[in-house]
Amino acid sequence: MVRVRFAPSPTGYLHIGNIRTALFNYLFARKEGGTFILRIEDTDKERCRPEYQEAALEDLSWMEIQWDEGPYEQSKRLDIYQKYISKLIEEGKAYPCYVTEEEIEEIRRIAHLERKPPRFDNRGRFFTKEEIEKRKARGIKPTVRFKIENPQLTMHDLIRGEVSFNLDEMVGDFVIQRSDGIPTFHLAVCVDDGLMEITHVIRGEDHLSNTPKHILLLQAMGFKPPQYGHLSLIHGPGGEPLSKRLESVSVREFRRRGYLPQALANYIALLGWAPGDNCEIFSWDKLQKAFDLKQVNKSASNYDPKKLDWVNSEHIKAMGEQAYLKVACTFLKENNFNIDDTMKLEKALLLFKRDIHTLGELVDVLTFLEAEAEYERKLEEEFKKKTDLYRILTNPSAQRVTASTSSTITLLNSEGEQLYKELVEKVGKDTGMKGKDIFLPWRMSLTRKSHGTELKRIFEILRRKDLQRRFTFVSKLSSGQL
Ligand code: GLU
């Protein structure tokens, strides 16, 4: 029976790397009919914060990565870890180590000078009784170190194949309990993986060098080590380490920018997983059926925001109209974008469904839906600031266009595209202008922007009386009559 776990440390918000680990574990468990466990690794009191823990649960739920067991919190399991530490000492597999922090620093300094890895020379293992007593009398509190007896180790990694280690060269005896009594990450992970009967550990490549320690420790405590699979790290778009920009790739940030959870899961799954058949767009349901750990490869992957945008836009296009309207309206509300006229809003939302990459883009493209008073207030503000909008609309030819439009529109009865066509023709005749000379002042008058969707579409959404009000307002404002 497959049992896997996601074990975040709440020291920051979950980012694309964490969530890929969570996702691959979750998908693997679903595929195998196994159990997905959530474990919070919060023994580092200085760096862990409860708000990050809460955020992690919320982000996982938003992504529909639902855990079957947990969340277990390591900070509540300290007595369990203590039991295992004592037992390891009793059995001679670990020992209280009275080497001081200053001595360790010195070992590091010398190794650095000799350009060697900072390996601990196990000196604390061989201290005499007298030496230990002397150090105790100096008030030195011991750490507990695990003895490395079998430093050569080869394991089969589920993703990377055979990997060999020589711990003797790498680390030496390592700390399993700090001098303040708190177990280290290594100890807590191994006790929990053992007790929780974890069968597969899928985690980032940054943990690969920890794995031989974990295997030895698990064996020493009488547990059967799980199988390990290490995912290659994700790099930034230019190949730079992602750690430089974790804020911008947090799940929260993606949510804030209007990515759909299932699109984000789809994109993240492709960071390492290569589905055989060239298909790249997967609904949440399809992803759960299609994912196969055997197709996860060890080549490094780069986070590509453009591809994520594309995947998200494909998911938006594939959504049913009602479902799309629901998520879009919820998103807009969360972003304090309130439009009272629901009919108008829904019509506009559907018009843009095929154009947008993220829901966040809606906030920008829909500003033309603001209530008239609000719209006018903002337009006037821009005039006061003498922005581009001011410059374009106070140009004499633009003034002629808006004046002509505002008087012509009162003579017409049509709406929508028909009104648009009639106006283009009549204003063209009246002013002798055409093309951009008409369209730019119109676009600026109706949307306060110089770029955007086709004007025709805006005419389909705004009613004639609103259009009339905008053109009249702009015409008066730009000619100094207001
Ligand atoms: N708590 C560790 C981390 O956040 C994960 C440990 C593991 O997966 O074994 O990196």
The string of pLDDT tens digits covering residues 396-450 is: 999 999 999 999 999 999 999 999 999 999 999 999 999 999 999 999 999 999 9
Whether 166 shows a pLDDT value over 90: the answer reads no
* Domain identity same for 303 and 355: no
Q: Is residue 147 part of a domain?
A: yes
Residue whose CA is at the smallest distance from ligand 1 atom 4? 8
Which atom from ligand 1 is nearest to the alpha carbon of 214? 9
The parent domain of residue 115 ranges over 80-177
Average pLDDT score, the chain: 95
- Its pTM stands at 0.90
* Domain identity same for 341 and 378: yes
Query: How far does residue 8's CA lie from ligand 1's centre (Å)?
Result: 6
Domain containing residue 116: CATH number? 3.90.800.10
Which atom from ligand 1 is nearest to the alpha carbon of 41? 1
Confidence band for 49, pLDDT divided at 50, 70 and 90: very high
* Domain identity same for 302 and 427: no
Q: Is residue 207 part of a domain?
A: no
pLDDT at 150: 80
Residue whose CA is at the smallest distance from ligand 1 atom 3? 8
- CB crowding 356-368: b at 16 or more within 10 Å, else e: bbbbbbbeebbbb
Whether 245 shows a pLDDT value over 80: the answer reads no
In this structure, the residues whose C-beta lies within 6 A of any atom of ligand 1 are 7-9, 41, 189, 201, 203, 207
Average pLDDT over residues 289-315: 95
Q: What is the largest CA-CA distance in the chain?
A: 106
* Domain identity same for 287 and 362: no
Whether 169 shows a pLDDT value over 80: the answer reads no
Q: Is residue 260 part of a domain?
A: yes
**Percentage with pLDDT > 90 across the chain:** 88
Q: Is residue 224 part of a domain?
A: no
Query: How far does residue 45's CA lie from ligand 1's centre (Å)?
Result: 16
The string of pLDDT tens digits covering residues 321-349 is: 999 999 999 999 999 888 888 999 999 99
Domain containing residue 56: CATH number? 3.40.50.620
Q: Is residue 297 part of a domain?
A: yes
pLDDT at 21: 98
Whether 34 shows a pLDDT value over 90: the answer reads yes
* Domain identity same for 268 and 359: no
Q: How many residues does the chain have?
A: 482
* Domain identity same for 109 and 54: no
The string of pLDDT tens digits covering residues 78-137 is: 999 999 999 999 999 999 999 999 999 999 999 999 998 888 999 999 999 999 999 999
Q: Is residue 199 part of a domain?
A: no
Confidence band for 240, pLDDT divided at 50, 70 and 90: confident
pLDDT at 117: 84
* Domain identity same for 328 and 428: yes
* Domain identity same for 329 and 242: no
Q: Is residue 220 part of a domain?
A: no
Q: Give me the number of domains the chain comprises.
A: 3
Last residue of a domain, one of 283, 318, 353: 318
Residue whose CA is at the smallest distance from ligand 1 atom 6? 7
pLDDT at 242: 82
* Domain identity same for 305 and 372: no
Q: Is residue 399 part of a domain?
A: yes
